[in-house]
Structure formats: structure tokens, C-alpha cells
Structure 1
Amino acid sequence: MSLADSNTLGENPYNFEEYLAWRESFNIYEDVPFIKQAMLRYAGDLSSDIQRDITQFAKRVSTEFEALSEAAGNHANAPYMVHFDGHNNRIDRIVRPAETLALEKAVWEEAVFAEEVDPWARFMKIYLLTTLGESGINCAHCCTGGLNLLLERFADTPELKRIHQHLTEGIDGEYGIAAQFLSEIQGGSDVAANCVEAVEENGQWRIYGNKFFCSAAHADYAVITAKPQGSDQVALFVVPSWLPGDKAKEKRNSFTINKIKSKLGTRELPTGEIQYNGSIAYPIGPLDRGLANIVGIVLSHSRFISGLGPGAQMLRVTEEAKQYARQRTVFGVTIKDYGLVAAQLNKLDRYSLRTTAASFKLQSEILKKERFDHGEKLFDSETQARQHAFHVRMLIMLHKMVATTDAAMISELAMSIFGGHGLMEDFSSHPRLFRDATTLAGAWEGPKNLLLTRLYMDFQAGRDWYPVAEFVGNLLQGAPQDTVSEMTTRLEALLDHGTLMGTDEKTLQVCEQWEAFCFDFTHAYQDQARVEVESLL
């Protein structure tokens, strides 16, 4: 036997070249026709310029952005802190990998929040970006959109107008990045219990106190909640991370970043604990409307994006699992031809398509509300307009809660199609996407229990002026009548109990049934959206 022959003994000819070639060429926008159908169904026939812009962006997402995102997600590239420079100056520098910085620069240069950008083009670019997972940029991108919405209404000072310009048009070729810091150590959901204080000193507001869960801690600006000294009302402020001329010197605006948190997922995203020590801040909106504006404007926007991302992510992991199942053979049989796998692939398809359809449908409803708010006559009566606003508020919460929960389950299921390879960090992005989905479901923009409670309270309040049967019938228009009747009966019975507070046996049963109803109702809405999209196929 020759030496050359001995080198081939025991070698396994099996390889993944076909799957890798497919993955390298995969473009979710071009290769999943359902996305374009959903856009056509709810956005209408967009101009050729807008379609060309989206097509070009989608190509960048599937090639350049995908490669940067994967590199940034490497554990060795996790962000870390440098608290002091070589001269013992406190700088709290957040070090992020070059790949994240390159991706961030490319994304912000798209200037999707500029006034002239078509809202559907903006939506599609955000949707495509979220197929990458968090990537260290999507949280801050979402928060930048939220601050921009506030500034569109309340930028009435030179400082706020300059920040608005920085976010939307850029200044000297650089675009501003935003974050939102609400959570304090006593809890993230109970914003009214905030202890961080705003003090007016010589005509200038300053912030004192600790924010405990601050994602996108690297941002240029943070929207924060604080109580003006002597008041129990929560106000909103914008805090620059650096005052003019200080960023290059790494001299922060009188605050310290105590640590970067170690999180289960979204690891590329630096989440810190921040101590404000008299930071200069600018009030945004009326001081006594901070809670209403943070919930009604900022959180509504970020909850919608938090529901949009998991839907996009579900579609991506589903397509990868389907392709792998077409090519992987076990015992001489392609695994897609095993009944259990085929059933799982069908489930992946069902969840990812209906969530995607509902994301597009909800976007169309949000845009309709925005057009009405800007003066378009879209409703026949004040009651119809009020009902539509109620639809949007409830759907944003329902879709966020259900989409994020479903995404964690679907990501885990998609990983299982890959067997042991699904768990390998260097085989695919599935482990990273699963961790991101779990993090979004667990905490981002309100955990499940908070949203379930808020939904119940809002349904109770709305019941006085919006009959349950009418609400269900309006949102499930076109669905089978049996489904509409069942959902109406269940909702009325649950609301008749009156409260989710208490630990008696009946209340505990209602709590379990309430969660099940919210998921079933949302899935019915999503299923109907999918039917509406597929009617065009």
C-alpha cells in the first residue's frame, strides 16, 4: 500500500458543500415570494424606484451585512469596557468589533428615518435587517426611530432640533444613534416608581440617579424617564452622551457606565448600568406627559419592531431548515421525507408565514392611523377613528407578545432539524438567533405578564364603549364565523371575571385562560392575514 493510498483510509466523503453554496447565495427577499406578495397586498404597487431601492438593500443584507453580522456575533468579539485611559481619566469606553462598526455605519447611512423616505421602504429595510438577528445594531436602530418620532412632535428648541437633524440627516457625515433607558433596579415595567430625578439648576435640567438596564449604551443620545424634583409625575428627557466637542476627548456628560451586563442573547449589543451625576438633559414634551408619551409613542414603536423582528427571523430559520432537510440524508433517505420532519417543516412554514403576513398587515394599520393623525379623512365617524386607534394599540401588544414567544419556539424547532449541527456556533447562526429570540420574548419592551395584564385592563376599559362582539368581528373580518363566535364568547366570559389580581382558584384559571385566549386570538388574526396575502398568489 502506498503512502498516498493510506492517507485516504477512514476518510468520510460526506460534506456540506451543497448546503453551504445555497446559503451563500440565499437572498430572502428574492427567494421567498411570500414577502413580495405581502408587500403588494398591504402596500400596493410601489414605484419602480422604491422597489429598486429595496432590491439593492436586500442584496446587501444577504451578502455584506450577513457576513459582518456573523463575524460580530463571534463570542470573541463581545463588547467590553475600558473604564480609564492611560492618564487615569474616567472614559468608560465601550469597545465593539470593527465588523459591528462597519455594519452600523452602512445601516445608518441609509438614513431610513429621513422625512422624504417612503414609509414602506423604511419598513422593508427594517424588516430585512431584522432577519440578521440583533447584530449589535437593531435595538439602537429601533430606538433611533422612537426618538425621531418624539422629535417630530416636540423638537421646539435649538438643542432638540439639532439632535433631530443628527438622527435623520446626519451632521458632518455622521449620523446620531439613540437609545432609551427606562429601567431602574426596582423594576423595568413600573415606570411610575422611578427614582431617577431631574433637577433644574440655573435654567438647565440635570439628571441624578441610576438606570439599571441600558441597552445600546454606546448611543449618542438616550431618551430617559425621570421625575422633576418635587414632583411625582414622570417626565421625558434627552440626555446626550457627550456635550459638543467632548466625544473625541472621551469626556462623558457627567455619567458613568458601571458595567456591561452578561446577557443570554443579543450579546453583540452592549447593555449597561448607568449612574447619572448631574448630566445635562433636555426635556422633550410636556413634563406631566412623560409616561403617556413614552408608552404611546416610544414603546408602541419599539414593541412593533420587537414583534416584526421575530417574524422576519422565523422566516429565515424556516428557509434554512427546509433547505437542509432537502439535502441531508439519514439511512439513505432525505430527512424531509420522514413524516415527523415533514410535519415539523409544515409547522415552521405555518408560523413564519402567518407572523410575516400579520406584521405587514399591522404596518398598514399603523400607517393608516398616522395619516389620520396628520389630517386625512379616513373614517366616517369619530367612533370609527377611536376604534381604529384601539385596534392598533391592542394589536401592537398582542403581536409583540405572541411573535416573540413563537419565535423562540420556532427557532428551537428549526435547530432540531439540524440535529447536533444545530447547536454548533460555527455551523450556522441558529444558536445565536435562538438566544436573541429568547431574550426578546423574555424582557424586551415588556415581558409577557406585563403585556397580558395591560391588555386585560385595556379590554375592560374599552368594553364600555366598544362591544366585544364588534371588536372581534372587526379584527377577524373574513375569518370563519365559527372562529369569530368562539373568540367572542371566550373574551366576554374572561372579561366578566373582572380582574387578574388574586390567587384564588377561579382567578388562577382565568389567568391561564386569558393567556391562551390572547395567543389563540392573535393566531386567528395572523391566519386571516396569511389568507389575504395568499389570495394574490
Structure 2
Amino acid sequence: MNIASQENETRGNNSYTFNEFLEKRESLDWYRDEPFLQKAAKHYVRSDYDQVHEKIRSFSPTVSLKWNKLADQIARPEVRPYMLHFDAFNHRIDRIVRPMEMHQLEQEVFGEGMFSSKMTPWESFIKRMLTHQLGEAGVACPLTCTHGLIGILEQFPNPEIPELQEILEHTKEGINGEFAIGAQFMTEIQGGSDLPANLLEAVPDGKNYRLYGNKFFCSVAHADYSVVTAKISGSDKVSTFIVPSWLPGEKEKEKRNSYEINRIKWKLGTAELPTGEINYKGALAYPIGPKDKGIAVAVGIVLTLSRLEIGIACAGFMLRAAREANLYADFRMVFGKKVKEFPLAASKLKYIEDAAHRTTAGAFKIYDLFLKLEQPLNPGINSESPLETRKQLFNFRELVLLQKICTTNEGVKVLNEAMSIFAGHGVMEEFSSLPRIFRDVVVNEQWEGPRNLLLTQIYRDIQRVIDWYTPKEFVASVLDGAAHETIEKFSAKLEDLLQRPVLGEVSDASMEAATEWDEFCSDFFKAYQEVALSEIK
């Protein structure tokens, strides 16, 4: 080869590589390399910390490496779930087709027995927070819904329906090593989050019921069992039911329990998760909880656990975003300096990390309250309970709502800022998981009641208890540990807003009040997170 040919071979070649960044990212252990998470765990797990710490250290490499790779593989658009309605012999089977990697990940995640009596609540909590760092990955929502189904089964045991005990055993402890998956189907086309508008009909059939009608937005459509809301024939009140997807011996035959899945939804995020439209044609359903109190049961138990879990998920999302943004900013050189050496980038990195730590601290503190309360999941607060108990239950209820709307809202901002650290690579789906998790956060903001609905609920809740729990007492209790001036400021603002037309007819005054209420809730919950953070530090 002559000299000119050699020069042509080398011209235009670029030896730049991301290998150093990739090697560091792929070697990360999401627990070992997250000092703040360990610090929070030590603060709250207390005397059991050493035992739980070792179990999490053993678990973390699996989720950080193996499960993370599986999550990336199942996120590819060409393997999204789809419906196969009929087999080759024209039998209606409504099979939800998912990739092999999804089945493997699901089996391994549920095989951990996250809700088993053999696992302590704090071990489960931290394992779930790490698992949420995968994003939805087709397992986060199923875990959450299964927790809700277990919660309602434990709250309302019914020896007259032995099938309910079998379902509890199948979902909580597993049968022959297999753990069943739960779901919650409540939304209908005419009502969305307006559960009183449910039209699904439950027709009595001995001690059980048969369901007729449609549910329009059903995530975890592949579940083994679901919590379903419906109205008993002749009633205008909603009741709750547990519905098996297959009756005994029918799963292997792919013969569903007298219902059809019309289609799978195409969603912005949580794309790996099958969300379907279901048409019930006499499906067998087991009643659970007090009849005609289905809304209180669904909200007080199932939705409370789902909303609680969304806050835990957001902490996981933000911790991962902070970790990977910091890693990239320390690697990437632009204009002769590392990204982290530019003040604008450094300020964003600081905000991302601060938000991640605040959100994590808040999630731990709320879960600690959840564990300390006796029967924190209730279809309404019993007026005969001791006053202090009622106040703590009320605090928990409102904190769960505040956490759900505030952490999802801030989560969108945090993920967006983290992606900006990567510049153009931040939106490349194969370069980073952050775009996928960003979309999942956006969807989580709409799950289990969108922002405006829950803001309205919080306002009404505080008005409803004002005769036995004043706004000033509520603020002082929630922000216990904050500066006196902070408590006074939020107390005065809350008392003022309760006199304003936040929920009045639309006018300039009501819209201004509503905007201030939205801002108040965000600032109030952030103050709570700051208290939680100060307690860990």
C-alpha cells in the first residue's frame, strides 16, 4: 500500500469511545453504591438493620445487573405485548403474547416472595425500591396491584368462601413455588376515576356473583386474579369482588372465566405492561368486604397501597437518575472540561440529587408511619377510635395522597433534567434507560387518580375533619420537627385557603385560589420531605 492509500485509511477515523462510562455503569451495584439509601435504611430499620442489610446486599446485584439487562431487552418496541384472540382451531383464548425475557423477569421478581410472611416489611420495602429502578419493566405495576389484592384479602377474611383463602395463599406465599399475580380493574369508559359512575353489573349466583359489562382501562391484564368494582343488581352503590382469570383446570386450556379482552392499549409509558379493555360475560366473582361500600374498600385499601407504592417507585426512579447523571457528567468532556465542571450542569446535578434524597427520605418516613399504625388500611376512619389514633390515620391518608401527586410531578422534572445532562444521548433509547423511565413517571402521575382529583380530595378531607382536627393541629403534626416559623407559615396559609373558593364555581377568584392550593400542597409536602431528610442526616 502506498503512502497516499495509508493516509486515506486513517482520515476521518474517530477513536472516541464510551467504554469507560459503560464499564462503570454496568458495574454499579444499586445498593452498595448508594450510600444515602443505606443511611436511610439504617435509620429506619433500626435493630434489624444488620440482618436486612446483608439480605439486600445479596439481592442487589441481581436487580442491578441481571434484571436490568432483561428490562432493557423487553423494552424494545418490536416485543411489546399483543393479543392473540383465537387459536388455530377457532377457540377464543385471548392470549397476551409477551417476550420470553418478560416471563423470566416476572417469574424471578415474583419468586422473591416480596409480600410473604417470611420476609420482613423493611426488607420488602427496600427490595421494591431497588426493583422500581428498572422502571415499570412489566413488573412494577403487577407487584403493586398484587400488594393491594393481598391487602383486601387479609382485611376481609371470609370462611364461607374458601376460594378467597386459596387466592391469598397463592398470591402471598406461593403454591409449589409459583406466586400468582393480582390486578385491579375499576375504571369504566364513562367515569374514569369516578367510581360511583360504575355500571358493571354483579348478578347474584348463590353466595357468589356473575359479572356483566365492560371495564375500559385494565392494567396487568395478564393477572391471575383481579379486584373488580361493580354494582349489585338493583343497587346504586358500588361493591368489590375478587375475580379469577381462569377457573380451576382452565388456565392450561386457555379458557378464560367468561370474559374477553377486547384489545391492548397503546400507551405513552409502561409500554411493557399489558393494559386492556375487558368485557365480562358472566364471569364468576367472589364478593369481598361490606356490600355497597366498594368505593371505601377500594380507596381505603387497594388504591392507598397503590398510591403508597408510586411514591416508593419515584424515589427509586430519582435515585437511578441521579446516579447515572453524575456518572456521565464525571466522564463526558466538552469544550475542554467535564460536564460536571460547568456551573449550570453542576446546579442541575445538585438539584437532581437533592430531590432524590428528599423523595427517598419522605418515602421511608411515610412507610414507617404505615408500619407503626394499627390497621392503617381502612374503608374510612372509625369515628369511635381514640382521637389521637384518628389523627395519625388521617395524617397517613393525606401524606399518601400528597406523596403520590408531588413525587410524580417532580419526578417528571428530575428525569427531564437528568436526560439533559446527557444532551442528545439523553433521548437515545438504546443509550440510556432514562427516556423509558421518564415516560413511566408521566404515566404514574395519571394512575390511581390524577393530580386535580387528588388535590380536590385533600381539600375536602381537611374540611371534613375540621371539627376534631384543626388545620393548625394538622400542619403542626405533619411538620413535627420543622422550624416554628415554617409551621406557622403553613398553618396560616392553610386556614386562609380553606376560606377561599378553591372548589367553587369557575371565576377569576376561584382559579387563583385553586392555583394557590396546588402550590401550597407542593410546598407543604416538600417541607415534610425536608424534615424527613434532616432526621436521616
TM-score by length of 1: 0.96
CA distance in 2 between partners of 1:198 and 1:478 (Å): 49
Deviation at 1:175, TM superposition (A): 1.2
CA distance in 2 between partners of 1:269 and 1:40 (Å): 33
CA distance in 2 between partners of 1:204 and 1:426 (Å): 49
CA distance in 1 between partners of 2:449 and 2:287 (Å): 24
Distance 1:11 1:514, change over 3 A: same
Contact 1:306 1:445 in 2 (8 A): no
* Structure-2 residue corresponding to 1:531: 534
* Structure-1 residue corresponding to 2:381: none
* Structure-1 residue corresponding to 2:494: 491
Distance 1:65 1:4, change over 3 A: farther
Report the AA paired with residue 471 of structure 1. Answer: F
Deviation at 1:371, TM superposition (A): 6.8
Distance 1:371 1:197, change over 3 A: closer
* Structure-2 residue corresponding to 1:377: none
Report the AA paired with residue 344 of structure 1. Answer: K
Distance 1:65 1:370, change over 3 A: farther
> Helix, strand or coil for the counterpart of 1:211?
strand
CA distance in 1 between partners of 2:339 and 2:155 (Å): 55
- Measured against aligned partners, the alpha-carbon deviations of 1:355-388 in whole angstroms (never above 9, x if no partner) come to 01000000000001137899xxxxxx92211111
* Structure-2 residue corresponding to 1:378: none
Distance 1:51 1:451, change over 3 A: same
* Structure-2 residue corresponding to 1:241: 245
Deviation at 1:247, TM superposition (A): 0.5
Deviation at 1:45, TM superposition (A): 3.2
Matches within 5 A, 1:254-293: 254-293=258-297
Alignment partner of 1:391 is 2:395: yes
Distance 1:294 1:12, change over 3 A: same
Matches within 5 A, 1:128-527: 128-156=130-158, 157-370=161-374, 382-441=386-445, 443-497=446-500, 499-527=502-530
Deviation at 1:11, TM superposition (A): 1.3
> Helix, strand or coil for the counterpart of 2:498?
helix
The answer to which of 43-52 and 319-328 deviates more is: 43-52
CA distance in 2 between partners of 1:396 and 1:450 (Å): 14
Report the AA paired with residue 334 of structure 1. Answer: K
Distance 1:312 1:372, change over 3 A: closer
CA distance in 2 between partners of 1:238 and 1:500 (Å): 35
Which of 54, 63, 66 does residue 61 from structure 1 map onto? Answer: 63
Contact 2:243 2:284 in 1 (8 A): yes
CA distance in 2 between partners of 1:207 and 1:500 (Å): 36
Deviation at 1:518, TM superposition (A): 0.2
Distance 1:2 1:45, change over 3 A: farther
Report the AA paired with residue 37 of structure 1. Answer: K
Percent identical pairs in the alignment equals: 46
CA distance in 1 between partners of 2:45 and 2:176 (Å): 34
Contact 2:183 2:220 in 1 (8 A): yes
> Helix, strand or coil for the counterpart of 1:501?
coil
CA distance in 2 between partners of 1:136 and 1:286 (Å): 32
CA distance in 2 between partners of 1:462 and 1:482 (Å): 24
CA distance in 1 between partners of 2:377 and 2:181 (Å): 27
CA distance in 1 between partners of 2:62 and 2:231 (Å): 44
Which of 17, 29, 32 does residue 31 from structure 2 map onto? Answer: 29
The answer to which of 178-187 and 40-49 deviates more is: 40-49
The answer to which of 261-270 and 49-58 deviates more is: 49-58
Contact 1:501 1:507 in 2 (8 A): yes
CA distance in 2 between partners of 1:216 and 1:373 (Å): 23
Contact 1:199 1:228 in 2 (8 A): yes
Count of residues in correspondence between the two structures? 527
> Helix, strand or coil for the counterpart of 1:45?
helix
Report the AA paired with residue 136 of structure 1. Answer: G
CA distance in 1 between partners of 2:136 and 2:253 (Å): 29
CA distance in 1 between partners of 2:211 and 2:257 (Å): 10
CA distance in 2 between partners of 1:366 and 1:107 (Å): 24
Contact 2:41 2:49 in 1 (8 A): no
Coordinate RMSD, CA, aligned: 1.5
Report the AA paired with residue 531 of structure 1. Answer: S
Deviation at 1:475, TM superposition (A): 1.3
CA distance in 2 between partners of 1:274 and 1:373 (Å): 28
